Structure 1
């Protein structure tokens, strides 16, 4: 297929490399600072399971011009949430009307934003469970496990896209899947504030308990809103807060069977915060806060964390700095 990756950042470059390696005709639409190193040396992607794939520049098309969308048979949108509306307008102006558009972005509002501009087109939601980090110019490393899920539709897209190194499946419950991912992604902000690797953060029971309280608060809101939440792990979503609160030796044994995490992995929000870039906090905690207001469910923990990220603190924070006084906030959230 002729595929345009609309927004060649970490996820876009990683997935684009593997799709190109599998034989698709891939164009990376992105910024010069990302594309220029790829022009010079090709694109290399690695993962936690020892994948090491180098895609030479001859197998890729790189473009900063949205006119490259004109030949697309499929558009995969991987821009940050704040750029979705702009990318939707570019797709409307340049991409063929019959080309499906798939969102491989965090949150739920991105697909809504795409559909609002691309009315009548085949726009599908998607869920990418893993995180990818740049390790050098033109080098991208996948640091966590999980398979991509896209919304069910015509054309067997998942079958065409799936490769041994990049499995893709379809679901007729994609919104529930997305909500499940959003609840897990609430930890992105905690990881960014902590300054720790994901592995070290998850081995610290204080941070896990805070993560559990935040998730439990979100699940109460979603239950009140009548929203289905599909788990992204083998256990039901409602059990995750209980699992996180377990003593570390027990948690470590159970979690090791469900999730593989590279020792150096951090969330994308951690890198955004460190580098002074806009974050996706309003697409994560912000969604829970808005729903909580609609259904009169308090969201003190999510609201406070959202505020801290907007303040862009310099340097890592301790748990008791994130939510003071933490016990009072927890008690309020559990009522």
Structure 2
């Protein structure tokens, strides 16, 4: 039995595709979410690839981990919820059960390995964007893909024939590469922007390019390997963000079918006053920089801006020009 932990957008999409393919799935959720989830008749996922929505049987719901029945665990929560999830995993869970981290931050799998050294903790990268519309109803706004370590055939084969395409991961280098792309999430959050805005607005694109350049410099200084899931080289991607106008947006539309109004979940987190992953993403670059003896002022500033905007009710979003000005004070000359 496959256990999906977390009823958010990613957890709902995973449970839906796996259940529709005939997998035995249970969804672990907090008790507060049980009434709304129990009221739904099925999982419904609207798909950017066209055609009718995916409709799948609703998985069995649980608030605990049954160590006797679980064969794989997919952890689909945000970084602030990771510790509470770890507390739910019982010591009696067989060591053969892999713990697959779907979290954006590479530090998540490190924490799982610390808490559960007897288990195999695997980093997986969610290479699709999804939005939760209501309990057990989600929208996938890109072609659904998941980056997995192919050497662990048990996990990869769980997705065979589901409609979610497994993509080969290259260890933690892939997780760090995904983090580099996710640095733009904070920009979208503080400016209330979509992916199209980030990839086509020149001021937002320049701000992201600065964050990206700084992060790459930090990872190289720390000698951390990284490999971004891109159809072009990372250096070409950096150049495109600087000089190619809206080409990155049209490339994403062509390659991944990125929907017009798609946005990262951090936008919704800010809008609803929830904790964000800015510290786990941009903040991780800051911590790596400190350990390597270098600075990361731009990513540090982004963490501060997310905290400031998120603390306001309602949020007072920054314009692209205001963001550019805020980051400009920290640009190295």
Q: TM-score, normalised by structure 1?
A: 0.90
By how many angstroms is 1:252 displaced? Answer: 4.5
2:8 is matched with which residue?
9
Query: Matched residue of 1:231: which SS?
Result: coil
2:117 is matched with which residue?
119
2:28 is matched with which residue?
29
Q: Hey, what's the Cα distance between the residues in 1 that align with 2:87 and 2:31?
A: 20
Q: Hey, what's the Cα distance between the residues in 1 that align with 2:247 and 2:210?
A: 19
Query: Matched residue of 2:26: which SS?
Result: strand
What are the equivalent positions in structure 2 for 1:288-307 lying under 5 Å apart? 288-307=285-304
By how many angstroms is 1:323 displaced? Answer: 4.5
Relative distance call for 1:154 and 1:321 in structure 2 (3 A) is: closer
Note if contact 1:9-1:34 (Cα within 8 Å) is conserved in structure 2: no
By how many angstroms is 1:129 displaced? Answer: 1.5
Q: Hey, what's the Cα distance between the residues in 2 that align with 1:201 and 1:170?
A: 27
By how many angstroms is 1:35 displaced? Answer: 4.2
Note if contact 1:212-1:244 (Cα within 8 Å) is conserved in structure 2: yes
Structure 1 segments unaligned to the other structure (5+ residues)? none
By how many angstroms is 1:200 displaced? Answer: 2.9
Note if contact 1:29-1:68 (Cα within 8 Å) is conserved in structure 2: no
Q: Hey, what's the Cα distance between the residues in 2 that align with 1:142 and 1:3?
A: 21
Report the more deviating stretch, 250-259 or 229-238.
Answer: 250-259
What are the equivalent positions in structure 2 for 1:76-115 lying under 5 Å apart? 76-93=74-91, 95-115=93-113
Q: Hey, what's the Cα distance between the residues in 1 that align with 2:104 and 2:121?
A: 15
Relative distance call for 1:49 and 1:193 in structure 2 (3 A) is: same
Note if contact 2:44-2:138 (Cα within 8 Å) is conserved in structure 1: yes
Query: Matched residue of 1:329: which SS?
Result: coil
By how many angstroms is 1:67 displaced? Answer: 3.8
- Pick one of 189, 195, 199 that aligns with 1:198: 195
Query: Matched residue of 1:228: which SS?
Result: coil
Structure 2 segments unaligned to the other structure (5+ residues)? none
Report the more deviating stretch, 240-249 or 306-315.
Answer: 240-249
Q: TM-score, normalised by structure 2?
A: 0.91
Runs of 4+ in 1 over 6 A off after TM superposition: none
1:19 aligned onto 2:23? no
Relative distance call for 1:167 and 1:178 in structure 2 (3 A) is: same
Query: Matched residue of 1:235: which SS?
Result: coil
By how many angstroms is 1:296 displaced? Answer: 2.7
By how many angstroms is 1:256 displaced? Answer: 3.9
Note if contact 1:75-1:99 (Cα within 8 Å) is conserved in structure 2: yes
Q: Hey, what's the Cα distance between the residues in 1 that align with 2:247 and 2:195?
A: 18
Cα offsets for 1:73-108 (capped at 9, x unmatched) = 111111211221221232134533321111111111
2:64 is matched with which residue?
66
By how many angstroms is 1:33 displaced? Answer: 5.1
Q: Hey, what's the Cα distance between the residues in 2 that align with 1:122 and 1:249?
A: 42
Note if contact 2:252-2:258 (Cα within 8 Å) is conserved in structure 1: no
Cα offsets for 1:107-138 (capped at 9, x unmatched) = 11111111111111122111112121112332
- Report how many aligned residue pairs link the two structures: 327
Note if contact 2:187-2:208 (Cα within 8 Å) is conserved in structure 1: yes
Q: Hey, what's the Cα distance between the residues in 2 that align with 1:251 and 1:149?
A: 21
Q: Hey, what's the Cα distance between the residues in 2 that align with 1:255 and 1:167?
A: 17
